[in-house]
Amino acid sequence: MIRLDAVSKVYNQGRHNEVWAVRDLRLELETRGITVLKGPSGSGKTSLLAMLGCLSRPSSGRIHLEGRLLSNLPERFMTQVRRSTFGFIFQRFNLIRGLTVLENVMLPAYPLAPDPGRLRDQALGLLRQFRLEERAHNKSEWLSGGEAQRTAICRALINDPAIIIADEPTANLDSQLSRELLTLIGELADQGKGILISSHDPLVFDHARVSRVVELRDGRLA
Amino acid sequence: MPLTPAILALNLASLTQSLLLVLAAGFAIQILRHWDLSSGSERQLGLERRTYLIATLVAWVFGGNLLSLLLFVYNAEQLSTQFVGAMCATGVLNANPWGWPTLGLKISLFFAGAAWLILNGVDNQAPDYPLVRPKYALLLLIAPLALAEVTAQALFFTALNPDLITSCCGSLFSPEGGGVAAEIAGLDPAVSLAALALSGLALLATGLRYWRRGRGGGLFALLAALTFGIALTAIVSGVALYVYEHPHHHCPFCLLKSGHDFVGYGLYVPLFAATALALGAGLMEVWRSAPSLKAIIAIRGPRLAGLSLILFALFYGLATWLVLRSNLLLLGPI
Amino acid sequence: MISFLRRQGYLLEYSLASLARRPGKHLGLVLVYATLVFLLASTLLFTQSLRQESALVLAESPELIVQRLLAGRHDLIPASYLEQLGTIRGVGERYGRLWGYFYDPAVRANYTLMVPRAAPPAAGEVQLGAGVARARGLSPGDYLSLRSARGEPFSFRIAALLPADTELVSSDLMLLNAQDFRRFFDFPADRFTDIVLRVRNPVEVRKVAEKISLALPDTRPILREEILRTYDAVFGWRQGLVFVLLTGAMLAFVIFAWDRASGLSGEERREIGILKAIGWETGDVLRMKFWEGAALSLTAFLLGYLLAYVHVFHFAAVLFAPVLKGWAVLYPDFRPVPFVDGLQVATLFFFSVFPYTVATIIPIWRAAITDPDQVMR
């Protein structure tokens, strides 16, 4: 359970270009099933997702994850929570060019310093699960859209997080690939992962597996 | 001032280090004034990010200082040919009143930096950063130390006048001379070595108690500081004699030369590291009742103390071996 | 502890991979960096080995030399002074030396003619320094013909060449026996060039020198330690001068390094953003960047130092020997003795790696505090 209590996020506070991305939001979200944050661009769904995923701290208000207060943690500790609790799939996948698929998948585990052999086996296991084992030693920039997307999912799963966060995951995919992605996400939900997605793609928020849709507008619940 | 590369390097390094520390102190003042962890404001985020910069700056100043300490001694060694009467680094440090204070300030800066970094490392383990204020207040005390060091060093080098006849280790550390150095050297080797052994035993006892029961960390640190002083004294008045196998050669620097198998590094490196770790452990003990740090200090403090004990043991082991293997007999058959 | 080392291992691996991915960007920096190290290291290695060499040579020379002065100029010293010096306490061995200079118009160079104390050459024979032999194209067995002080030609057979390892001081040397020396220069029989004293206890050297200037007021005692000090001071000062000149280069390098470190490309910025978003902490990025700097520094330092080593010890410092060595017409073909010490390396560090690191701290920190949510904006 994630609880948001009067959460606001403001950029450039006190300056002429001040922007309120999220205003005074109160919300409770299940950490199981698939939850979609829906809204037009600029509605604050990405800012909200960033705060939920411990990527940024609210300007005011409190966020609790399973009863633990997250919103007042310094960056150092937010990062610790982030890398153990959340896995991220970004809009443009954000794989690092020049590194192999395998290295990209292992990256989130580096700061945790696991045993190198074990980490490799785990990463290769994930790649096998997502039919990427032949691509393991290819550079990430040579991948097709679908492969890049599956690599991003493997990377999100390497630290075995409880919750997967996906920011506009279908924005750069055609309908065919979007459906495939949603099937994969459905499978993850079946394995017990919580899924948080921000999207304004009807393909996503109208999907049968989605358990809850939260609609945002101008930083508030619509 | 002799214009040699090493002297240029030392002045340049100290100047840079003080500038970096003054910069860090400036940030520290901002943190002391505006720190508010409960706020999610952009200023607070900025301050939190500054803490990374400050820690990095202090770490580099500390590392640079360690190296400049070595260079300072090497350089004094090399300059000794240019001073009538100086046969090693001691004579050069003795050439004017700023030599020894500069060395002392460099060593103090080393310990201050080490203790601060250890404290910082502990504080970074607790999500509420309970030591933010004391930590940055301490940093404000370290900055003047660096400024004093750069000044003393500049004065030392400016006042170095090669025409001056200085006294070398032989006369400085000879019992007939006057001053602290002579008194140290004039100590009966038996007394100083006994004191060293006693302080070692006391250190071992308190260290083990702290390591196993988690009590008496402050006492351990105090004893470690005391042992550091006793150890330096014992090196000058006792151990050095055994190494040089000469009853009147007391120099603490010649030990670093190849002629004595660089045995000085084996003595000084563990001694300095052990003392720094013990001081760090003792410093963190001051805050052992901070709620969010209680558990961390209870683990870290004794662990540091254990490591420090191992290093002290290395120092004691080597010193004992040096005395035993020596052909010089001062105390009669042991 | 293991996890600490392992984490550093991962970070190092990442930073090396990151360097390897953009070789072009770092090549320029490494080259400039290595050049700076090369210049500084060449200066240090060269003067240090000169200093070492002269100390080695002087170690053999006597503690005290006594010269006679006439109207403030160096004059020949009467042999009778030898006995008077013998009465001074503390003086051990003492003997007169014969040496002088000879200008050879054939090669337009000055030779130093000297009578060695031990094993002087047989009558009519000489031992030649390598420089003289080279200039005249002579080898052992050949004859060297010179015009004496009276204008008569003198022919010497070359018995041997002097060993090459002392060439810095023996290049222009010509050794012959006392009779030949006196005849060649028409040198008065009861005089020496100077007198040499051995003083056994080094502490007494100054005392003895004082006594000499009292007993023989027209003489000047020269102490070996004074010569050593002067050499040291001169070498140190020359080194310092070169370093002051190079400080400008160092500053330029610092600005260059700062600029390089702050001018991150969009690609690199994006990368750091991704790393932070997927769970890297600011401290991890900082350490990764410092590993990167360490790898660059190590490469440049080793490269520069190695090149300097080769330059000084294999090519005899061709680039700046003229500035640092002093000059003579018979240029010694000096092969410096390899010599490396902690003082040099530490000094070099403070003139290259230290400024580089200081210049990059703030740019690296700026990069490391990239907002983790930046990749989502």
The answer to the question of residue C109 being in a domain is yes
Distance CA B56, CA B141 (A): 18
Q: Cα dihedral angle (B233, B235, B238, B242), rounded to 10 degrees?
A: -170
- Most confident option among C14-18, C59-63, C242-246, C343-347: C14-18
C166 and C242 housed in the same domain: no
State which H helix or E strand residue C321 sits in.
Answer: helix C321-325
What is the per-residue pLDDT for B111?
Answer: 93
* Span B157-179, pLDDT tens digits: 888 876 655 555 545 555 444 55
What is the per-residue pLDDT for A198?
Answer: 92
Least confident of B119-123, C22-26, C133-137, C330-334: C330-334
What is the per-residue pLDDT for C217?
Answer: 84
Question: Could you give the angle at the alpha carbon of C231 between the alpha carbons of C230 and C236, nearest 5°?
Answer: 100
Say if the Cβ atoms of B84 and C229 lie within 8 Å.
Answer: yes
Residue A142 CB-half CA count within 13 A? 11
The answer to the question of residue C202 being in a domain is no
B14 and B138 housed in the same domain: yes
What is the per-residue pLDDT for C48?
Answer: 78
Angle between helices C342-351 and C282-313 (to 10 degrees): 120
Mean pLDDT of B318-331: 78
Amino acid identity of residue B171, one-letter, is S
Nearest chain C Cα distance for residue A133, angstroms: 22
Q: What is the DSSP letter of C163?
A: P
Q: Which residues of B touch C283 (CB under 8 A)?
A: 52
Distance CA C111, CA C147 (A): 13
Q: In residues, how long is chain B?
A: 334
* Span B227-279, pLDDT tens digits: 999 998 888 888 888 887 777 777 788 888 777 778 888 889 999 999 999 99
B163 contact A CB<8A: no
**Nearest-Cα residue of chain A relative to residue B129:** A74
* Residue C233, CA distances (Å) to A68, B144, B288, C57, C236 in order: 69, 34, 55, 17, 5
Q: Which residues of C touch A55 (CB under 8 A)?
A: 277, 371-373, 376
Nearest to B68 by CA among B38, B116, B119, B106: B106
Distance CA C109, CA C129 (A): 13
Q: Which residues of B touch C369 (CB under 8 A)?
A: 49, 52
C343 and C274 housed in the same domain: yes
Q: Which of C10, C21, C371 sits opposite A113 (nearest CB)?
A: C10
The answer to the question of residue C122 being in a domain is yes
Nearest to C38 by CA among C253, C302, C237, C256: C302
**Nearest-Cα residue of chain C relative to residue A42:** C377
Confirm if C19 and C292 have CB atoms less than 8 A apart. yes
Residue C327 has pLDDT above 50, yes or no: no
**pTM score, whole prediction:** 0.82
Ordered strands of the A194-199 beta sheet: A86-89, A163-167, A194-199, A34-38, A210-217, A220-221
* Span C332-355, pLDDT tens digits: 555 566 667 778 888 888 888 889
B134 and B64 housed in the same domain: yes
**Nearest-Cα residue of chain C relative to residue A44:** C377
Confirm if A161 and A85 have CB atoms less than 8 A apart. yes
Residue C315 has pLDDT above 70, yes or no: yes
The answer to the question of residue C357 being in a domain is yes
Range of the domain at B77: 1-167
B1 and B83 housed in the same domain: yes
B145 and B111 housed in the same domain: yes
What is the per-residue pLDDT for B308?
Answer: 92
Distance CA A168, CA A165 (A): 10
* Beta-bridge partners for B51: none
Say if the Cβ atoms of A76 and C281 lie within 8 Å.
Answer: yes
B157 and B253 housed in the same domain: no
Distance CA C46, CA C65 (A): 29
C333 against C116, higher pLDDT:
C116
C137 and C258 housed in the same domain: no
Q: Which of C9, C21, C281 sits opposite A98 (nearest CB)?
A: C21
CATH number for the domain spanning C177: value is 2.40.40.20
Nearest chain B Cα distance for residue C262, angstroms: 15
Which of B146, B167, B188 terminates a domain? The answer is B167
Q: What is the DSSP letter of A100?
A: B
CB atoms within 10 A of CB C326: 10
Nearest chain A Cα distance for residue C267, angstroms: 9
Across chain C, how many H-helices and E-strands are there? Answer: 13, 13
* Span B84-97, pLDDT tens digits: 666 677 777 877 88
Distance CA B27, CA C128 (A): 70
Say if the Cβ atoms of B40 and A58 lie within 8 Å.
Answer: yes
B176 contact A CB<8A: no
Confirm if C339 and C52 have CB atoms less than 8 A apart. yes
Q: Which residues of B touch A50 (CB under 8 A)?
A: none
- Most confident option among A11-20, B145-154, C163-172: B145-154
Distance CA C271, CA C38 (A): 34
B228 and B313 housed in the same domain: yes
Structural domains counted in chain C: 2
Report the neighbours of B using a cutoff of 3 or more CB pairs below 8 angstroms.
A, C
Identify the burial level of C303 via C-beta atoms within 10 angstroms of its C-beta, where 0-12 means exposed, 13-18 middle and 19 or more buried.
middle
B159 and B177 housed in the same domain: no
Confirm if C139 and C158 have CB atoms less than 8 A apart. yes
Distance CA B18, CA C78 (A): 62
Q: Which residues of B touch C247 (CB under 8 A)?
A: 8
Model ipTM value: 0.92
Residue B80 CB-half CA count within 13 A? 20
Q: What is the DSSP letter of C194?
A: E
Confirm if A155 and A104 have CB atoms less than 8 A apart. yes
B101 and B246 housed in the same domain: no
Confirm if C325 and C50 have CB atoms less than 8 A apart. yes
**What's the gap between Cα C12 and its chain centre?**
37
Which of B151, B167, B183 terminates a domain? The answer is B167
Q: Which of B6, B77, B81 sits opposite C228 (nearest CB)?
A: B81
Which of B167, B198, B232 terminates a domain? The answer is B167
Query: Which three-class secondary structure string do you get for chain B?
Result: CCCCHHHHHHHHHHHHHHHHHHHHHHHHHHHHHHCCCCCCCHHHHHHHHHHHHHHHHHHHHHHHHHHHHHHHHHHHHHHHHHCECCCCHHHHHCCCCCHHHHHHHHHHHHHHHHHHHHHHHHHCCCCCCCCHHHHHHHHHHHHHHHHHHHHHHHHHHHHCCCCCECCCHHHHCCCCCCHHHHHHHHCCHHHHHHHHHHHHHHHHHHHHHHHHHCCCHHHHHHHHHHHHHHHHHHHHHHHHHHHHCCCCCCCCCHHHCHHHCCHHHHHHHHHHHHHHHHHHHHHHHCCCCCCCCHHHHHHHHHHHHHHHHHHHHHHHHHHHHHHHHCCCCCCCCC
Mean pLDDT of B200-210: 89
What is the per-residue pLDDT for B333?
Answer: 44
CB atoms within 10 A of CB B265: 12
Distance CA C304, CA C298 (A): 10
What is the per-residue pLDDT for B39?
Answer: 80
B291 and B149 housed in the same domain: no
Residue A204 CB-half CA count within 13 A? 28
B2 and B129 housed in the same domain: yes
C52 and C164 housed in the same domain: no
The answer to the question of residue C193 being in a domain is no
Least confident of A168-182, B107-121, C176-190, C200-214: C200-214
Range of the domain at C116: 99-186
Say if the Cβ atoms of C240 and B82 lie within 8 Å.
Answer: no
Phi, psi of A48 (to 5 degrees): -65, -45
The answer to the question of residue C90 being in a domain is no
Say if the Cβ atoms of B82 and C354 lie within 8 Å.
Answer: no
B86 and B223 housed in the same domain: no
What is the per-residue pLDDT for B334?
Answer: 42
Residues of chain A with pLDDT under 50: none
The answer to the question of residue C255 being in a domain is yes
Nearest chain B Cα distance for residue A89, angstroms: 25
Here the tokens at position C221 are 């005692």
CB atoms within 10 A of CB A200: 17
C246 and C179 housed in the same domain: no
B162 and B235 housed in the same domain: no
C253 and C337 housed in the same domain: yes
Confirm if C29 and C257 have CB atoms less than 8 A apart. yes
Confidence of residue C330 (pLDDT cuts 50, 70, 90): very low
Q: Which of C271, C277, C281 sits opposite A111 (nearest CB)?
A: C281
Distance CA C324, CA B304 (A): 51
The answer to the question of residue C150 being in a domain is yes
Here the tokens at position C223 are 């102490």
User: Which residues in chain A (99-158) have CB-CB distances under 8 A to chain B?
Assistant: none
What is the per-residue pLDDT for A52?
Answer: 92
Residue C322 has pLDDT above 70, yes or no: no
Question: Could you give the angle at the alpha carbon of B77 between the alpha carbons of B72 and B80, nearest 5°?
Answer: 125
Distance CA B1, CA C48 (A): 20
Structural domains counted in chain B: 2
Alpha helices in C22-175 (DSSP H): 23-59, 81-86, 130-136, 167-170
CB atoms within 10 A of CB C198: 12
Here the tokens at position A39 are 């809204």
Chain pair A-B, CB pairs under 8 angstroms: 24
Q: What is the DSSP letter of A110?
A: G
